[in-house]
Structure 1
Amino acid sequence: MSVPIPPFAEERRADLVSLHAALLNLIIMLESLLEQQANSSLNLDYFRWMLADVRGKLWIVSWEIGALGIVEERLREVSIVEDGNICAVCIDELKIGDEASRVVGCSHVYHRECIARWALENHTCPMCMYDILE
């Protein structure tokens, strides 16, 4: 059973999707401007540079959207059956009844919210540095 998507992850996905759409629109506008002005005497180097820069940012946003999906798939919901384990993200004890997640691949357990936030930024297990995106 996969982890329910934490609210902050839904917000991040919404922000990334919105940014992705805005960057695509900007690319279309810049390409159109360059096509319209191709035969003019204007120096279009700045617009060409801007277009390349926006395409690079679009690639980064696309990668982040993909990484967010992989992180969500690679964390599994678990029930804590024993007290005493420590969440290496918040350094607090995991207790019976806590919402927790196990990293698929290395099996380390953390508070669900803690590891989801950590993994979205770092893409690794904080205990063993296992690459969650692999």
Structure 2
Amino acid sequence: MCQKFSCNDLFIFFAISYSILNLFIEWDNFTQCARPIHCWLLIALLGILLYRVLVIIFKTDEDDDDDEMGIFKINLFKSGYKAHTIIYVGILYPLFTIWTLLGTVWYLEDTTVEPKCLSSENSMDWYFLTWIISFYAMTIIFTTIILYSAIINYRNYMFEQQFTSLLNQYEGLEAPDMRFGINGLSPEQIIKLPIETVNENDGVCSICLDGFIEQDKARVMPCSHKYHILCIDKWLMQHSSCPLCKVECTLN
């Protein structure tokens, strides 16, 4: 737990603790307010503390290496993270957003109803306004991160599905070292290249230079060149062209 506690956490806890203390000092000044905006702010600040505590509790060593806000690195499609997803995205985030909107309405009422408990001369007016703006900023940031995380996780999920389909084509064969380069084809693109049953009359595989034998499986490139599945797939994971004639493997 101590290793997961960072300087950022210390700053957050200090800032919120100071704000809560300041709120209690001014507590009696809010008795004339139309809405209990001081209670709203207290609950909001405690909610932020709760959120940060949960992040620290659930943060893993992998999260420490890659992302300070490790909660947003969760894989939404893996069952082990479903509880985390429900807590953060399904419960805390919507509640925080609704609570921010409610506080905005109460703040506007308290600044327009007489007597004004949050007048322009009152420093607490700017105090509440600053926190409300901060809450909206956090809501926008969280929304952006959640959407980005969902897109990335969806892409990873689709890649895993395509990768599994590609592995299924290696039935009875020893799968190659799966390392996809930035210039190579995706599993989906490789799968779309047709596979044919060949024999010794089809010549040799230009990658391993071994001749085809009866009932061999070969992947056929758009340029009509044929290669052993394992040979060409390993090549296509790093390159997007035919190794013999350099024709790009683009499929319509």
TM-score bracket for this pair, using the shorter chain length: 0.3 to 0.5
**Structure with higher strand content:** 1
Q: TM-score if structure 2 supplies the norm length?
A: 0.28
Report 1 or 2 for greater relative contact order, CA contacts < 8 Å, sequence distance ≥ 6. 1
More helix by share: 2
Structure number with greater Rg is 2
TM-score between both structures, scaled by the size of structure 1? 0.48
